[in-house]
């Protein structure tokens, strides 16, 4: 997974490692091996499966009395999975809990590095840049590179903070160092460490040719890995580098990839950015569709700053920025459940659209909700539906519009 080989290959070995069960408190391999196996599912666009494994692992550790660092890692990384699914408020609570436990273990230990880095990423996604900087200052985060493999990579996270503060030159220096450190080790999966994408953003205004080279290489690596979220992230970044009409097409493509992934925050971000680009291009109706969807998704994720930006874009388009309130439920509707069952049975979107009496884009949106709520891509859908006990359902009432 870290090398960026096919996600299907990584998932194959993850399944083999699980076998009939992989204990989290084994005397020989301890906590680390099952954690790495579970995180493989997360990076391979199946965070729902990873979350399921972490719940079991945390319960097992608590039964055995494994607390301290083990419990800190458990809560922190469960928060990381929620973050990757776009459940930012839940993620923040879990990681704060993990950090409190890590404090009891010691200072500058791996459990603490994990928690601080993940918490900074969550705060940045929620738009709380000053709070993220305060956290980094409190723990001298960014001044010292830990002598351990940390997920997410700490130097890359610190560079994201620098970018959010507009310190592009400092971010460039940090990210160049990340590349020098990871490339010789063949740690090249942008789904795990997107340093090339962040570096492309850092130098887009000063060295556009190099930025394009970096983002194209990251896009190729994402395509080799093959997950929808990784490809979507690379396309989203490239859209920002190239801009103009080509950038708008890339944003539309990024939205399509995110719709097929469980990455709810990245989808919301791409919808808002695409909506803003459509507004600037003088296409208010198309912009409204994207911006309203992006606003609703941002609210669901707890991304307050992104929701505020969506409202500003709607106002700029002369549209009423509705005070939407997401239901926050992750229970599949009857339509979503039926569509999920039909996809698992091999139905095409065209056939589903005919069955529901609607259009293909409406089917895509229903499926996007399925992937977000269940925390998986299409590949992991059959197993999660089976484990959820979803039996055959009758065709629901066709959606309006």
pLDDT computed for residue 108 by the predictor: 66
pLDDT computed for residue 304 by the predictor: 93
pLDDT computed for residue 107 by the predictor: 67
pLDDT computed for residue 392 by the predictor: 38
Please state the separation of Cα 73 from the chain's center in Å: 19
Cβ 353 vs Cβ 367: under 8 Å? no
pLDDT computed for residue 87 by the predictor: 94
Joined tokens for residue 57: 């692992």
Please state the separation of Cα 185 from the chain's center in Å: 24
Strand (E) or helix (H) holding 169: helix 168-182
pLDDT computed for residue 23 by the predictor: 84
For residue 100, give every residue at least 6 positions away whose Cβ sits within 8 Å of its Cβ, in sequence order, or none: none
pLDDT, tens digit only, all 401 positions of the chain: 999 999 999 999 999 999 877 888 877 777 888 889 999 999 999 999 999 898 888 888 778 777 667 788 888 999 999 999 999 999 999 999 888 888 776 666 677 888 999 999 999 999 999 999 999 999 888 776 666 777 899 999 999 999 999 999 999 999 999 999 999 999 999 999 999 999 999 999 999 999 999 999 999 999 999 999 999 999 999 999 999 999 999 999 999 999 999 999 999 999 999 999 999 999 988 999 999 999 999 999 999 999 999 999 999 888 876 655 544 556 788 888 888 888 888 888 888 888 888 888 888 888 888 887 888 878 888 887 777 654 433 333 433 33
pLDDT computed for residue 110 by the predictor: 76
Please state the separation of Cα 20 from the chain's center in Å: 29
For residue 333, give every residue at least 6 positions away whose Cβ sits within 8 Å of its Cβ, in sequence order, or none: 369, 396
pTM, rounded to two decimals? 0.87
| Nearest-angstrom CA–CA distance, 289 and 267 | 14
């Amino acid at each position: 997974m870290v090398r960026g080989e096919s996600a299907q290959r990584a998932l194959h070995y993850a399944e083999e490692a699980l076998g009939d069960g992989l204990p989290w408190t084994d005397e020989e391999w301890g906590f680390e091996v099952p954690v790495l196996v579970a995180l493989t599912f997360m990076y391979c666009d199946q965070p729902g499966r990873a979350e399921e494994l972490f719940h079991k692992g945390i319960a097992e550790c608590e039964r055995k009395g494994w607390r301290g660092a083990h419990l800190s890692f458990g809560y922190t990384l469960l928060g990381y999975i929620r973050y990757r699914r776009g459940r930012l408020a839940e993620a923040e609570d879990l990681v704060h809990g993990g950090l409190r436990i890590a404090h009891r273990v010691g200072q500058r230990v791996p459990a603490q590095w994990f928690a601080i880095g993940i918490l900074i990423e969550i705060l940045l996604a929620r738009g709380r840049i000053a709070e993220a900087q305060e956290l980094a200052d409190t723990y001298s985060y960014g001044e010292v590179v830990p002598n351990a493999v940390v997920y997410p990579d700490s130097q890359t996270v610190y560079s994201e903070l620098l970018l959010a503060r507009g310190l592009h030159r400092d971010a460039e220096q940090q990210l160049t160092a990340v590349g020098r450190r990871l490339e010789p080790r063949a740690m090249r999966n942008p789904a795990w460490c997107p340093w090339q994408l962040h570096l492309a953003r850092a130098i887009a205004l000063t060295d556009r040719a190099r930025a394009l080279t970096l983002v194209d290489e990251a896009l190729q690596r994402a395509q080799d890995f093959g997950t929808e979220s990784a490809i979507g992230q690379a396309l989203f970044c490239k859209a920002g580098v190239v801009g103009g009409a080509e950038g708008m097409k890339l944003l539309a493509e990024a939205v399509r990839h995110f719709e097929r992934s469980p990455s709810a925050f990245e989808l919301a971000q791409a919808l808002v950015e695409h909506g803003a680009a459509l507004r600037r291009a003088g296409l208010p109706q198309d912009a409204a569709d994207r911006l309203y969807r992006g606003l609703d998704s941002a609210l669901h994720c707890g991304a307050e700053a992104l929701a505020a930006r969506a409202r500003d874009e709607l106002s700029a388009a002369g549209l009423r920025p509705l005070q939407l309130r997401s239901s926050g439920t992750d229970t599949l509707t009857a339509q979503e459940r039926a569509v999920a069952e039909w996809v698992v049975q091999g139905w095409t979107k065209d056939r589903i659209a005919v069955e529901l009496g609607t259009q293909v884009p409406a089917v895509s949106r229903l499926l996007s909700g399925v992937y977000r709520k269940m925390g998986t891509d299409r590949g992991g859908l059959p197993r999660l539906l089976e484990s959820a006990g979803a039996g055959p359902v009758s065709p629901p009432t066709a959606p309006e519009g």
